[in-house]
Structure 1
Amino acid sequence: MVHDTVKELGFLTLGTRFRRIGESLQAQTQALMARHGIDLPAAHFPLLAALDRHGPLGVGELSAAVGVSQPVVTRSLRGLEASGLVESRSQEGDRRIRKVQLSSAGQALVARAKRDVWPVIEASVAQICAPLQGPLLEQLAALEAGLENTSLLQRAAASLTPRPQGPQEKASP
């Protein structure tokens, strides 16, 4: 049996473990969004959320708001614009400055995601993180194990499954 070398190397490979956890979270978030009928890369949602929270932003501002490079933001915006979820406009007075904003379709998608999907994702990730305590490497191992043992999709489905009502909880006719 091959051992997990990245885990065994501890702090030496911490960046790789963070990337691995991030990739797992994004893939599972993608599956959860697909289950809700949203066919959009999970990596695009931080951009949509930033535009929803802050209004129109330039590429540099958007890059700072989500903490990724401008080339990554520019590539993502091309896809979002092609999907009709964002639009860009030149600024009055200086046509070199372009601001990106949510289109009406983008606003509707974000409203739906905020209502139906984001709370489920947040609750599922919080559930994985809730028992974490102790040294960082042990916490990372617990987070990875939590993602491997029960996916976000499974956690979300379990949280949406109706619980049986006890005698005092039954609704009145």
Structure 2
Amino acid sequence: MNLYQRLGYLALGSRLRRLSEAFLSEITYAYQQEGIEFDAAWFPVFYLLSQNEALTIKELSEQTEVSHPAASQLITNLKQKGLVMATPGIDDARKQLITFTGKGRALLQQVLPVWDAIMLSMDEISRNQPGCDAMLPAITAFEQALQQHDLYNHISKNLNKQLTPADK
């Protein structure tokens, strides 16, 4: 058992970050080996736009569960690379509709087979390693638990339980 495993929930954030970094490193390497210039950080926007003709920054922000400024910054980056464009909304010109450019659609066609290969590979890996098949449901359950319970309040309450009246 390594340090992170021994520390349990104390190291949860570190373990998840390490796992995410290792996973994204492998995904980035796969894109590079295929000669595809694609940043894994673009995935949520590319995926959502592949499923929708156009989306506003607000819709992208809500569906990816990131702040509006973070979504806006990502869209600005993608616009600078010529992968997406923003056009005024039909009903409300203040709302910018984000769509793929021709270059963005071409890149999407390149990454779609990689996404399929990632899904197949992860299914194979998780199916052949005991416990892995429970990972995604467990992450979902944990996300829901953290949304339903204010972790700080739990920590504070438990800190107060530990203090004796003389300590206060």
Give TM-score, length-normalised by structure 1.
0.69
Q: The residue matched to 2:93 in structure 1 has which SS?
A: strand
Q: Which is worse superposed, 123-132 or 98-107?
A: 123-132
Q: The residue matched to 1:94 in structure 2 has which SS?
A: coil
Q: The residue matched to 1:129 in structure 2 has which SS?
A: helix
Task: Give the number of the structure with larger relative contact order, counting CA–CA contacts within 8 Å between residues 6 or more apart.
Answer: 1
Hey, which of these two has a bigger chunk of helix by percent? 2
For 1:25 and 1:135, the matched residues in 2 are separated by 14
Residue identity in the other structure for 2:102: S
Question: CA offsets per residue over residues 58-100 of structure 1, 9 Å max, x none?
Answer: 1121122223332222222122111111000111342211111
Residues 4, 110 of structure 1: alpha-carbon distance in 2 compared, 3 angstrom cutoff: same
User: 1:74 corresponds to which residue?
Assistant: 72
Displacement of 1:29 in angstroms is: 0.5
Displacement of 1:37 in angstroms is: 1.1
Q: Which of 10, 13, 17 is residue 11 of structure 2 equivalent to?
A: 13
Q: Contact between 1:26 and 1:43, CA under 8 Å: does it hold in 2?
A: no
Which consecutive residues of structure 1, in runs of 5 or more, have no partner in the other structure? 141-173
For 2:109 and 2:131, the matched residues in 1 are separated by 37
User: 2:128 corresponds to which residue?
Assistant: 131
User: 1:109 corresponds to which residue?
Assistant: 107
Q: Which of 30, 47, 50 is residue 49 of structure 1 equivalent to?
A: 47
Give TM-score, length-normalised by structure 2.
0.70
Q: Contact between 2:44 and 2:64, CA under 8 Å: does it hold in 1?
A: yes
Q: Which is worse superposed, 61-70 or 95-104?
A: 61-70
Which consecutive residues of structure 2, in runs of 5 or more, have no partner in the other structure? 137-168
